[in-house]
Every structure is written in structure tokens, then in C-alpha cells.
């Protein structure tokens, strides 16, 4: 197989800052790589582009499968580019836990938006990272900002812990819901509703309009029961049709209202500062876990202990403690 040619860190940086979409894609591929050489080069690139980041509005979009996230994002993205914004979509697809394959179908589903030169869509395989969110989504987001994109839309897979992970990397968190699915609050976690800055009832078109209005009232009443946010924002409930485009301008207006309020009360930058520290801690855990399972001695002892743990003859906690102790001792010896 032909090996991908690496550029110099300077070439990646210059290309990204010029808004070269090919170089941007290559830079994201670089930071997604697990090879040590690529990671070191990626660190250089990220350090160089950091001063040019942070000027976008970062929006997370979540919702259960079938709620119409991709259609909503495409039409919302088209609305924004018509308003003169450059839009980047980072769509994280679920990966197979057996084959590590990924569907990567969002670019196909957002065909019209992907053809627009003012938009950039990057589907990324989630792999084994927590909640289906790519370990490198944050870095990809920063690269897109450095490339001049004004709005970054991050689509979750809508399952597991992905909502929590995305909430921790965006400025505004949007939850898409459906009407007419029985109990309007059934099947969604209370915690997800508590996290959202806006709840949007999608597919409010045709014969579904009345059901959508009813659902809006139910959700509005439910959100009033939650305690006041520390940032002073009261989550809004809206209806829209991702297919027809109805209600999308109102969604954007709410996001602008939110950003204006958060900038005026100092929460906007304060929240981003907390996120940076959170990213540091989370990535440190990721690196430690990766180093731990790559350690040959750990692999050997783990392989020989699995059968006894599976059969219940040996305590899983006892083996885990022994493995961690082995790993720490080896790292200490290597330093000496």
C-alpha cells in the first residue's frame, strides 16, 4: 500500500490558514492518526494554529436516531451560508466495535450542502472513544476555525454518552425531538434535557404541525420544572421543519440571543476556559489508557489472567491492581 506523504508542519499551517480545503482535510487526517510520528507533527501544527482559533460559534446537535439530524443540519447549514457564513460540519459516525469500520454516510446525506464551497463536511469514525465522539473532534474543530469557518456544527450519533461529550466542547447545545411519539418525554434522558440550550421539535410540517405545537407546549412546561441555569439562560423550545426549512431562521435567532447574553455576562469565555482544562484532563486519561494497553508486559499478564477472571476464579479488581502496579513499576524503571 502506498504510504501517504506527510507535509511539513509549516505547509499544513499555511494551507489551513489560507482555507485550502484539501490541506485542511489532510491536517485533520494527520491529527486523527495514532502513529507517534504523526502525533508529534500534529502537535506542532496545533500549537501553530491556536492563535487563529476561537472566533466561531460552536453548536452541538443531538437527538435520537430518526429525528432528522442530517436533514436539519443540511438545511440549517444552507441557511447560514446564504447569510454569508462559512459553515463546517463535523459528523461523528458510529463505528463497528468488531471491525472498527464506520458508515461515514453523512456527506452523502448532505449532498447539497457538501457541494457548496462555503461549507465543509467532515465525517469521522468514532472508534472506541467515549460516547461515539471522535477523540480528535476538538482538534478538527480548532483546525476548521483556523481555516476561517464561522459556524461549527457537531452532530452526535445520538446514543450513549455522546451528548455529554459534545456538550463539553460546544457553546450552544441543541436537542432535536419528535412529536406524536406517545409520552413526549418518554425515551429521553432527563440529563440530556437539562443540558440543552434549545429544544427543537423537528418535522413540524404537513399533518404533523398540530402535534408539533402540542409537543412544544409539553416540553415548555417540562423545562420550567428544571432549576435556573448558572448562566441565567432559560432554554427555548421551538418547532421547525428540517425538510421544508420552516422555523430555521428562528433557531438561528435564538442562538444569536444566547451568544449575546453569554458574552455580556462573561459566561461565554469562562465556559471555554473550563472546557480547555477538561480537554486536558480527558486527553491525559486517553493517553494513559493507550500507553497502558500498548505495554507488552501488561498485554502478556492480561492475556494469561483473562480465563481465570472470566471463570470467576480470580477477582477482576485484584488483577486490575496488579496490572496497574506492573505498568507503574515499568515506567519508573524506564525513567531511571
216 and 302 together in one domain: no
**Residue 170 in contact with residue 154, Cβ under 8 Å?**
yes
175 forms beta bridges with 62, 199
Closest CA to 15 of 130, 101, 141, 143: 143
Residues 6 or more apart in contact with residue 119 via CB below 8 angstroms? 77, 78, 81, 86, 87, 88, 89, 113
225 and 85 together in one domain: yes
196 and 74 together in one domain: yes
179 and 310 together in one domain: no
| CATH code at position 14 | 1.20.5.170
- Please state, in angstroms and rounded to a whole number, the distance separating the CA atoms of residues 9 and 42: 8
**pLDDT value, residue 49:** 97
221 and 253 together in one domain: yes
Q: Which domain holds residue 320?
A: 295-335
18 and 84 together in one domain: no
**pLDDT value, residue 219:** 86
∠ CA 68-92-25, rounded to 5°: 120
Collect the ranges in the chain with pLDDT lower than 50.
Answer: 1-2, 95-105, 131-132, 182-184, 186-187
Q: Would you say residue 281 lies in a domain?
A: no
Q: Would you say residue 231 lies in a domain?
A: yes
Task: Pull the grid cell for residue 96.
Answer: 463497528
**pLDDT value, residue 97:** 40
**pLDDT value, residue 108:** 55
Which three-class secondary structure state does DSSP give residue 177?
strand
58 and 48 together in one domain: no
Closest CA to 144 of 88, 80, 93, 60: 88
25 and 135 together in one domain: no
Domain end, chosen from 52, 73, 91, is at 52
**pLDDT value, residue 179:** 83
169 and 152 together in one domain: yes
**pLDDT value, residue 187:** 47
320 and 192 together in one domain: no
Residue 148 φ/ψ, nearest 5 degrees: 100, 15
CB atoms under 10 Å from CB of 264, counted, come to 10
Total structural domains within the chain: 3
32 and 80 together in one domain: no
220 and 321 together in one domain: no
**pLDDT value, residue 183:** 46
**pLDDT value, residue 228:** 82
* Residues belonging to the chain: 336
- The DSSP bridge pattern shows strands 236-239 and 151-155 to be unpaired
Amino acid at each position: 500500500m502506498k504510504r501517504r506523504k506527510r507535509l511539513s508542519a509549516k505547509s499544513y499551517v499555511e494551507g489551513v490558514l489560507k482555507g485550502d480545503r484539501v490541506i485542511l482535510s489532510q491536517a485533520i487526517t494527520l491529527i486523527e492518526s495514532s502513529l507517534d510520528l504523526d502525533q508529534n507533527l500534529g502537535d506542532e501544527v496545533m500549537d501553530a494554529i491556536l492563535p487563529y482559533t476561537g472566533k466561531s460559534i460552536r453548536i452541538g446537535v443531538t437527538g435520537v436516531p430518526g429525528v432528522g439530524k442530517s436533514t436539519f443540519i443540511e438545511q440549517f447549514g444552507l441557511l447560514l451560508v446564504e447569510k454569508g457564513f462559512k459553515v463546517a460540519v463535523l459528523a461523528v459516525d458510529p463505528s463497528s466495535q468488531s471491525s472498527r469500520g464506520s458508515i461515514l454516510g453523512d456527506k452523502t446525506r448532505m449532498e447539497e450542502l457538501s457541494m457548496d464551497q462555503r461549507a465543509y463536511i467532515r465525517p469521522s469514525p468514532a472508534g472506541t472513544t467515549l460516547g461515539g465522539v471522535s477523540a480528535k473532534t476538538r482538534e478538527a474543530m480548532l483546525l476548521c476555525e483556523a481555516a476561517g469557518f464561522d459556524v461549527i456544527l457537531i452532530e452526535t450519533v445520538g446514543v450513549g454518552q455522546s451528548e455529554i461529550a459534545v456538550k463539553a466542547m460546544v457553546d450552544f447545545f441543541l436537542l432535536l425531538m419528535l412529536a406524536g411519539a406517545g409520552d413526549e418525554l418518554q425515551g429521553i434522558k432527563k440529563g440530556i434535557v437539562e443540558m440543552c440550550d434549545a429544544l427543537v421539535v423537528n418535522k413540524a410540517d404537513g399533518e404533523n404541525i398540530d402535534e408539533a405545537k402540542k409537543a412544544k407546549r409539553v416540553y415548555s412546561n417540562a423545562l420550567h420544572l428544571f432549576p435556573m441555569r448558572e448562566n441565567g439562560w432559560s432554554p427555548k423550545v421551538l418547532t421547525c421543519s428540517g425538510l421544508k426549512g420552516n422555523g430555521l431562521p428562528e433557531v438561528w435567532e435564538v442562538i444569536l440571543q444566547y451568544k449575546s447574553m453569554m458574552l455580556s455576562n462573561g459566561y461565554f469565555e469562562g465556559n471555554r476556559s473550563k472546557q480547555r482544562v477538561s480537554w486536558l484532563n480527558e486527553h491525559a486519561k486517553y493517553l494513559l489508557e493507550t500507553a497502558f494497553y500498548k505495554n507488552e508486559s501488561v498485554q502478556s499478564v492480561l492475556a494469561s489472567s483473562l480465563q481465570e477472571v472470566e471463570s470467576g476464579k480470580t477477582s477482576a479488581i485484584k488483577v486490575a491492581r496488579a496490572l496497574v502496579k506492573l505498568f507503574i513499576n515499568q515506567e519508573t524503571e524506564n525513567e531511571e
